[in-house]
Amino acid sequence: MASIVPQIKLSENGPKVSRIIYGTWHMTGMNENDEHLLSNPENILSRIKACVGVGITTFDLSDLYGYYQFERLFGEALKLEPDLKKKIQIITKTDIVKPCEAVPKCRIKYYNTSREYILQQVNRSLGMLGVDHIDLLLLHRQDMLMDADEVAEAFKQLHSEGKVLHFGGSNFTIQHFKLLQSRLPFKLVSNQFEFSPYEMSALTDDRLDYFQRKRIAPMAYSPLGSGKLFAKEPTEQTRRMRSTMEQIAADIGSEVSIDQVCYAWIMMHPANICPVIGTTSLNRIITAAKSVNLTLDRQQWTEIWSASTGAQVP
Ligand SMILES: NC(=O)c1ccc[n+]([C@@H]2O[C@H](COP(=O)([O-])OP(=O)(O)OC[C@H]3O[C@@H](n4cnc5c(N)ncnc54)[C@H](OP(=O)(O)O)[C@@H]3O)[C@@H](O)[C@H]2O)c1
């Protein structure tokens, strides 16, 4: 399979990433339905290779995934084929502290953006992954107690040490993004948030307008509503969306599937949104890659918006 997915720059001074990013959460065993894939570097390696084979070279992780163990498994997978390290970009996140075996003193899930914690977690991630740098570090959730000066100190240190090349937010409002940016001598390069026909608030709460204006490509997680589009017991909304997408898929071409239509819907937005896909299926990784070649027209895009909202545009 030839490489299909193009590379884009997340922002003017940002890293090059693949237009479709591979999300690793469903491989981490934190979702109760996904445990079959936990603890197996070979399974992880086969997904990395399937992705790289179609041009999906950017991987989205978090220190938290797999109850703080998944980065180590991902690193073990890379050790099986060390040449892969040069071909991929690693995004990881930090700031969520969640009670589990790896964090014995933690009583309640909370966020930690202290300088000390960020430095500790990045050093840990580097060791677990077995890499000398992280391409992009995101603060995973918006910390209500974030001291932007303190985060900036940590980011500047990690940057000057060459441990992290770029920084961004995840689930950040525009105001929070601007606050952190105001303390940094370099630009934040992206924000990752949920966006799909199921979660369209970024269209109207100014996030997509802001990032388009700044020429910063956001990353859209849960592009299929975290699998809701394929639910065995679909809601009325999902039924409407499926039947609309099936019609559009049939109109576009004989081998087009509704997950591809959904990815194309996201990528049609002029903010250059990069879907972070969550499938663990080798075939669906290839299907997803092919969606970069699909184009919807404005009426098709709006039909999907209408199927989701159950209404016409005003
Ligand atoms: N920053 C954050 O706070 C945050 C939050 C959530 C997620 N994320 C990132 O975003 C990534 C993607 O999120 P997500 O996993 O929710 O994305 P998603 O792509 O919306 O959902 C993935 C789920 O959909 C299922 N699926 C996909 N295609 C299917 C098909 N054709 N038929 C049946 N089932 C299908 C997958 O099952 P199969 O594996 O069987 O295909 C998987 O369970 C995560 O892995 C993570 O890296 C970030």
- Residues known to be catalytic: 65
Structure tokens at 313: 């545009």
Residue 143 Cα to ligand 1 midpoint, Å, equals 24
Q: How far apart are CA 294 and CA 298, in angstroms?
A: 13
Q: Which residue has the CA at smallest separation from atom 41 of ligand 1?
A: 279
Q: Is residue 1 part of a domain?
A: no
Residue 28 has what pLDDT? Answer: 82
Structure tokens at 137: 């570090």
Which atom from ligand 1 is nearest to the alpha carbon of 24? 45
Beta bridge partners of 225: none
Closest to 119 in 3D by CA, of 153, 142, 91, 70: 153
Summarize the confidence of residues 256-285 as an average pLDDT. 97
Q: Which residue has the CA at smallest separation from atom 12 of ligand 1?
A: 278
Residue 277 Cα to ligand 1 midpoint, Å, equals 6
Residue 39 has what pLDDT? Answer: 63
Residue 31 has what pLDDT? Answer: 67
- The number of distinct structural domains making up the chain is 1
Mean pLDDT, all residues of the chain:
95
Residue 234 has what pLDDT? Answer: 98
Q: How far apart are CA 171 and CA 142, in angstroms?
A: 6
Residue 193 has what pLDDT? Answer: 98
Residue 35 Cα to ligand 1 midpoint, Å, equals 14
Distance set, CA 6 to CA 88, 224, 291 (Å): 13, 21, 11
Which atom from ligand 1 is nearest to the alpha carbon of 27? 45
Which residues make Cβ contacts (< 8 Å) with residue 280, sequence separation at least 6? 26, 27, 34, 37, 47
Find out whether the beta carbon of 121 lies less than 6 Å from any atom of ligand 1: no
Q: Which residue has the CA at smallest separation from atom 33 of ligand 1?
A: 230
Distance set, CA 68 to CA 72, 78, 115, 141, 207 (Å): 8, 18, 19, 16, 30
Which atom from ligand 1 is nearest to the alpha carbon of 61? 47
Whole domain around residue 32: which residue ranges?
A: 7-309
The answer, yes or no, to whether residue 259 has pLDDT greater than 90, is yes
User: Residue 224 maps to which CATH number?
Assistant: 3.20.20.100
Q: Is residue 161 part of a domain?
A: yes
Summarize the confidence of residues 173-183 as an average pLDDT. 98
Q: Is residue 227 part of a domain?
A: yes
Q: Which residue has the CA at smallest separation from atom 8 of ligand 1?
A: 221
> In this structure, how many other beta carbons lie within 10 angstroms of the beta carbon of residue 212?
16
Residue 38 has what pLDDT? Answer: 54
Residue 92 has what pLDDT? Answer: 98
Beta bridge partners of 136: 91, 166
Q: pLDDT tens-digit profile of 79-108?
A: 999 999 999 999 999 999 999 999 999 999
Find out whether the beta carbon of 47 lies less than 6 Å from any atom of ligand 1: no
Q: Is residue 12 part of a domain?
A: yes
Find out whether the beta carbon of 277 lies less than 6 Å from any atom of ligand 1: yes
Q: pLDDT tens-digit profile of 188-242?
A: 999 999 999 999 999 999 999 999 999 999 999 999 999 999 999 999 999 999 9
Q: pLDDT tens-digit profile of 7-43?
A: 999 999 999 999 999 999 998 877 666 555 556 899 9
Q: Is residue 2 part of a domain?
A: no
Q: Is residue 314 part of a domain?
A: no
Q: How far apart are CA 270 and CA 224, in angstroms?
A: 19
Residue 160 has what pLDDT? Answer: 98
Residue 60 Cα to ligand 1 midpoint, Å, equals 12
Which residues make Cβ contacts (< 8 Å) with residue 260, sequence separation at least 6? 249, 287, 288, 290, 291, 294
Q: How far apart are CA 163 and CA 161, in angstroms?
A: 5
Q: What percent of the chain has pLDDT over 70?
A: 96
DSSP 139-168: ESS--TT--HHHHHHHHHHHHHTTSEEEEE
Closest to 59 in 3D by CA, of 304, 276, 270, 260: 276
Which residues make Cβ contacts (< 8 Å) with residue 230, sequence separation at least 6? 224, 259
Q: Is residue 295 part of a domain?
A: yes
Residue 58 has what pLDDT? Answer: 98
SS3 39: coil
